[in-house]
């Protein structure tokens, strides 16, 4: 029966592929609008069977210089995710500590909440913590490049 | 329910623009202030919802950019979510369906109305479009959608229209109209279930009733939900089923964007006639079920093909960057690998008790039986599944695997194994061992994947040390044997081999055959046990024979 096939297969899959299962859960959550509506994430390419390349989006928090902006991010979950953090970079130009101003690459260690990465952290957290990071005093007044500019890579 | 199908049709064809039109009305914002986000991507005007894979029950985020920027600190991007639940509930009344409203920084617009709109236009557009003939279907559709978007009340008006009601009460007419739609025809070709549904006058009538009476539709949904909530008594079972249900929607839909035959709602229609419906699981029965028993008419061919395909898939060695070792066509597990499925699967795997509970549910049995009795259905579906379309080898492979599996399912022993939590745990341990094996010998994985599914129940029955017992449960079917051998090989810990035993030992098997050892099964076992050493295998074979 369908269920059985499904479940038995799952047995095997879950044991063998924790990374995929994790990412698949995250995919599902992203599609269902996990988080509080201020972040969004999903697979960059639906055919990406390795579940490596993700899009992320952060709504700039109110009462900061980022307000009104929607930031797009590229997130790569490598083979050692979630044991290792993903690689994150901004697509839209942003002036934010920890973000390389020439290519938008995020130094995840500079985001306090993510600096000690745990395998229970996920893409949603990355996005949410980055958003929180924007709200911090050191960041929320940094002058920003004009809206709409993107990094050239 | 048919209308639900059509709803999905329309929803998917709907350009984003109209969606935005409606939203702009609802939220009293200009269209260019609206930004729609789904799964981390911004939806551009030219895009369509289906293009982004937006399906029923998923959430699209809406951001309304206000004219005031952050400078004056005015209310800014209000972020809210609307769930695109189309067609699942009644159209004329504000739906009480739970939409995933999330907290927002600004106002909290009523998201429940948006799905209503979608539902509304969907249904109507479908109806009206059909009513006006198939010629200008698309334009008509668009027009109707537009109109509907601007006037949701129109739907209820139209529904009230005696003409429409008349039409709807005539199942034959409806059927004709539906079938006149080329897309529908295509759909029906691909999914015989729909035509079954359409051809069943009783069902049509009920569907018409339902469509005509949104309240009744809701009622039925509630019945479903009640039945489903019965399952809540099964610990964890409800959630799993629910997720399974949703998750199966996903792969179903993603199988082909325009293929709605696998719409779970078609199942609703199918079960409505049977009266009290215990659960949604059973509803999946009429669903085109690629995992059902395939056409068992040519097991030998499929057996041979499966061997071939196994070695083909075996060619995809997992690499560091590709830990799944997936070559996208390869694992007809395409479905299994779909996101939702996987998450469900994990959930189930984490809770072996769940398996037991699910299995012990009475409907399981009937479902299994009916699946077993309905091989044509599954084979057709199998053929139609686009995942398989490009990979006939895979189809064969699955055809081979599934009858085995199914037989095993019906084997009470196998069943009891699966309902036995301890046995399941033992299985998991075996799995873990396999995993270790895999890291040690990555080349094994393909054979693991392919042979795994049917092998597992047998694996449960055999403590991995007794190869002789498992083939007996499989029967004499050569395809089964081959897969069994694969399993055996894995369990016996044959390391390093990238191909399946039959392939590796093909020449030896031939030699043994030539020597007069015609029991292929025993030959293979012996070869496996001796690691391909013919002489040793012969000795084993001779030793096991009385004379």
Is A68–B69 a contact, with Cβ atoms under 8 angstroms apart?
yes
Q: Which helix (H) or strand (E) holds B506?
A: helix B506-515
Report CA-CA distances (Å) from B315 to B327, B330, B483, B496.
Answer: 9, 10, 17, 13
Nearest CA in chain A to B108: A37
Answer whether residue A87 shows pLDDT above 80.
yes
* % of chain B exceeding 70 in pLDDT: 16
Q: How far apart are CA B107 and CA B123, in angstroms?
A: 30
Residue B183 touches partner A, C-beta closer than 8 Å: no
- For residue A127, the SS3 value is helix
Residue of B53, B66, B292 lying closest to A46 (CB–CB): B53
The pLDDT tens digits for A111-149 are 999 999 998 899 999 999 999 999 999 999 999 999 989
ipTM of the predicted assembly exceeds 0.95: no
Residue range B241-269: average pLDDT? 41
- For residue B507, the SS3 value is helix
Nearest CA in chain A to B82: A33
Is B342–A21 a contact, with Cβ atoms under 8 angstroms apart?
yes
Q: CA end-to-end span of chain A, whole Å? A: 49
- Could you tell me the two tokens for B238? 């409800």
User: Which residues of chain B make contact with A59, given a CB cutoff of 8 A?
Assistant: 63, 77, 79
Using 50, 70 and 90 to split pLDDT, how confident is the model at B506?
A: confident
CB B338 within 8 A of CB A6: no
The pLDDT tens digits for B291-323 are 544 433 333 333 333 333 333 333 334 333 333
CB B241 within 8 A of CB B280: yes
Interface test with A, best of B100, B342, B442, B444 (most A CBs within 10 A): B342
Task: Give me the pLDDT at residue A139, please.
Answer: 93
User: Which residues of chain A make contact with B107, given a CB cutoff of 8 A?
Assistant: none
Strand A53-59's sheet: what is its strand order?
A39-43, A53-59, A70-76, A87-90
Q: How far apart are CA B85 and CA B351, in angstroms?
A: 30
Q: How close, in Å, is residue A115 to chain B by CA atoms?
A: 23
Cα dihedral value B495, B498, B500, B502, nearest 10: -100
Is B70–A5 a contact, with Cβ atoms under 8 angstroms apart?
no
Nearest CA in chain A to B37: A40
Q: How far apart are CA A85 and CA A97, in angstroms?
A: 18
Task: Give me the pLDDT at residue A121, please.
Answer: 92
Contacts of B295 (CB under 8 A, 6+ apart): B375, B376, B378, B379, B382, B399
Is A32–B336 a contact, with Cβ atoms under 8 angstroms apart?
no
Cα dihedral value B45, B40, A16, B319, nearest 10: 80
Task: Give me the pLDDT at residue B15, please.
Answer: 53
Q: Which helix (H) or strand (E) holds A2?
A: helix A2-16
Kindly report the number of other CB atoms within 10 A of residue B123's CB atom: 27
The pLDDT tens digits for B62-87 are 777 775 443 322 223 333 334 443 33
Task: Give me the pLDDT at residue B497, please.
Answer: 41
Is A59–B342 a contact, with Cβ atoms under 8 angstroms apart?
no
Q: How far apart are CA B189 and CA B408, in angstroms?
A: 31
Residue B201 touches partner A, C-beta closer than 8 Å: no
The alpha carbon of residue A136 and the mean position of all alpha carbons in its chain are separated, in whole angstroms, by 19
Identity of the highest mean pLDDT range in B50-54, B275-279, B291-295, B383-387: B50-54
The pLDDT tens digits for A26-52 are 998 888 887 788 999 999 988 888 899
Nearest CA in chain A to B378: A2
Is B59–A31 a contact, with Cβ atoms under 8 angstroms apart?
yes
Answer whether residue A9 shows pLDDT above 80.
no
Least confident of A125-134, A140-149, B488-497, B513-522: B488-497
The pLDDT tens digits for B328-379 are 333 333 333 334 344 444 444 444 444 444 444 444 444 444 444 555 444 4
CB A74 within 8 A of CB A42: no
Residue B374 touches partner A, C-beta closer than 8 Å: no
Using 50, 70 and 90 to split pLDDT, how confident is the model at B171?
A: low
- For residue B61, the SS3 value is strand
């Amino acid at each position: 029966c369908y269920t059985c096939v499904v479940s038995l297969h799952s047995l095997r899959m879950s044991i063998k592929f924790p990374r995929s299962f994790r990412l698949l859960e995250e995919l599902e959550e992203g599609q269902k609008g996990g988080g509080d509506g201020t972040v969004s994430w999903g697979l960059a390419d639906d055919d990406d069977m390795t579940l490596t390349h993700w899009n992320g989006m952060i709504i700039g928090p109110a009462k900061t210089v980022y307000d009104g902006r929607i930031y797009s991010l590229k997130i790569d979950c490598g083979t050692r995710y979630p044991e290792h953090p993903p690689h994150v970079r901004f697509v839209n130009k942003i002036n934010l500590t920890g973000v390389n101003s020439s290519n938008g690459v995020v130094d995840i260690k500079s985001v306090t909440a993510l600096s000690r990465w745990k395998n229970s952290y996920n893409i949603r957290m990355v996005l949410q913590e980055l958003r929180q990071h924007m709200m911090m005093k050191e960041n929320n007044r940094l002058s920003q490049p004009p809206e709409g500019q993107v990094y050239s890579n | 329910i048919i209308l639900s199908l059509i709803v999905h049709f329309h929803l998917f064809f709907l350009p984003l623009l109209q969606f935005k039109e409606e939203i702009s009305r609802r939220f009293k914002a200009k269209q260019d202030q609206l930004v729609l986000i789904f799964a981390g991507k911004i939806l551009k005007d030219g895009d369509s919802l289906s293009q982004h894979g937006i399906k029923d029950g998923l959430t699209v985020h809406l951001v309304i950019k206000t004219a005031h920027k952050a400078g004056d600190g005015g209310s800014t991007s209000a972020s809210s979510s609307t769930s695109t639940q189309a067609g699942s509930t009644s159209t004329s009344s504000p739906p009480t369906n739970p939409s995933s409203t999330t907290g927002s920084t600004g106002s909290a617009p009523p998201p429940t109305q948006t799905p209503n709109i979608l539902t509304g236009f969907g249904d109507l557009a479908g109806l009206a479009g059909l009513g006006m003939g198939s010629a200008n279907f698309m334009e008509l559709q668009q027009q109707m959608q537009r109109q509907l978007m601007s006037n949701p009340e129109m739907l209820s008006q139209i529904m009230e229209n005696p003409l429409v009601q008349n039409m709807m009460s005539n199942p034959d007419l409806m059927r004709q109209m539906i079938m006149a739609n080329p897309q529908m025809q295509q759909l029906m070709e691909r999914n015989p279930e729909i035509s079954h549904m359409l051809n069943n006058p009783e069902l049509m009538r009920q569907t018409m009733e339902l469509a005509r009476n949104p309240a009744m539709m809701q009622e039925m949904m509630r019945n479903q939900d009640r039945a489903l909530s019965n399952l809540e008594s099964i610990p964890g079972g409800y959630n799993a089923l629910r997720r399974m249900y949703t998750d199966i929607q996903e792969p179903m839909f993603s199988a082909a964007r325009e293929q709605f035959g696998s719409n779970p709602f078609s199942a609703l229609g199918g079960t409505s006639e049977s009266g009290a419906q215990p659960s949604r699981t059973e509803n999946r029965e009429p669903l085109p079920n690629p995992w059902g028993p395939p056409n068992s008419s040519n097991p030998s061919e499929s057996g041979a093909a499966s061997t071939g395909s196994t070695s083909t898939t075996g060619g995809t060695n997992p690499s560091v960057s590709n830990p799944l070792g997936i070559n996208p066509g390869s694992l007809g597990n395409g479905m299994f690998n779909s996101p939702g499925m996987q998450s469900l699967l994990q959930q189930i795997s984490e809770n072996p008790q769940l398996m037991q509970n699910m299995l012990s549910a009475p409907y399981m049995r009937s479902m299994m039986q009916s699946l077993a009795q309905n091989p044509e259905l599954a084979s057709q579906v199998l053929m139609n599944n686009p995942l398989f379309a490009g990979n006939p080898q895979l189809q064969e492979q699955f055809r081979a695997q599934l009858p085995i599996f199914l037989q095993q399912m019906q084997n009470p022993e196998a069943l009891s194994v699966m309902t036995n939590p301890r046995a399941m745990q033992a299985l998991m341990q075996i799995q873990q061992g396999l995993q270790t094996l895999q890291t040690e010998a990555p080349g094994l994985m393909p054979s693991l994947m392919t042979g795994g599914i049917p092998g597992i129940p047998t694996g449960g029955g055999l403590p991995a040390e007794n190869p002789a017992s498992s083939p007996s449960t499989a029967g004499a079917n050569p395809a089964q044997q081959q897969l069994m051998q694969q399993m055996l090989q894995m369990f016996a810990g044959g390391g390093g081999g990238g191909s399946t035993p039959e392939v590796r030992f093909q020449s030896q098997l031939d030699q043994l055959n030539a020597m007069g050892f015609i029991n292929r099964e025993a030959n293979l076992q012996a070869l496996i046990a001796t690691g391909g050493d013919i002489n040793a295998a012969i000795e084993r074979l001779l030793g096991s024979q009385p004379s």
